[in-house]
Amino acid sequence: MNETPREHRPGPSVRVLLAEDQGMMRGALALLLGMEPDIEVVAQVGTGDAIVDAVLTHRPDVALLDIELPGMSGLDAAAELREQAPGCRVLILTTFGRPGHLRRAMDAGAAGFLVKDGPVEELATAVRRVLAGETVVDPGLAAAALSAGPSPLTARERDVLRESAGGATVADIAARLHLSGSTVRNHLSSAIGKTSTRNRTEALHEARQRGWL
């Protein structure tokens, strides 16, 4: 029996999970990555809450996660994957390259952070590199993150700001987070001061713009 020379044998495919809430974008990414000879998209999800279960079920080598997803964010999912599926490498792919998001992604254990406006060839290369143990970060965003510094907000201040979206009252926020009203007010006041804004609506907007939420 004739054997294929060792150097020409196809290697195992890199198994990839895609998490993207926009169906057209998700389908396009899956199609383009699937055209790579060594990459196989084994699962696609449209919500953050589905990421961990899908990873545990399909066991991808690399999870390609958007940040802004219904339910759990891609950053929160990355932190959970670090605990529940440490063998899965996480690559964050987002529309908005914000320095604060990069820092949070690295803190959550992500191996890479790219913005969506790059060519698919760069994305495929990044998938291979993170699987090989490298850290891949958009260079412009890395420089911006270094100059911007870390987020000044505490975890509780971030929680309170998030819950304040949509006009929630102090009582609403307190009930959701199991805090007292006075504690919520203190956290809101502190967040407003740290963002150099005039009210909690502006503070929420500023924190989002900087990637702190």
Q: In the predicted model, is pLDDT for residue 189 greater than 60?
A: yes
Mean pLDDT of 207-211: 75
Mean pLDDT for the chain?
84
Neighbours of 145 (CB within 10 A): 23
Mean pLDDT of 200-204: 86
Residue-wise pLDDT for 70-90, tens only, equals 989 898 999 999 999 999 999
Residue-wise pLDDT for 45-71, tens only, equals 999 999 999 999 999 999 999 988 998
Q: Report d(CA 74, CA 197) in Å as an integer.
A: 27
Residue % of the chain over a pLDDT of 90: 42
- Straight-line distance from the first to the last Cα atom of the chain, in angstroms, rounded to the nearest whole number: 60
Q: In the predicted model, is pLDDT for residue 142 greater than 70?
A: no
Q: Which of 41, 40, 63 is nearest to 50 (CA)?
A: 63
* pLDDT, greater one: 126 or 148: 126
- The first and second tokens of residue 160, run together, are 């309170």
pLDDT score for 11? 56
Residue % of the chain over a pLDDT of 70: 87
pLDDT score for 145? 54
**What are the phi and psi torsion angles at 129 (to 5°)?**
-70, -40
Q: CB-based contacts of 89: which residues, under 8 Å, 6+ apart? A: 61, 62, 63, 111, 112, 130, 131
Q: CB-based contacts of 179: which residues, under 8 Å, 6+ apart? A: 160, 173, 187
Mean pLDDT of 129-155: 74
Rg (CA), the chain: 20
DSSP state of 138: -
CA 48 from centroid of its chain's CA atoms: 9
In 20-55, which positions are buried (b, 16+ CB within 10 angstroms) versus exposed (e)? bbeeeebeebbebbeebeebebbbbbbebebbbebb
pLDDT score for 80? 94
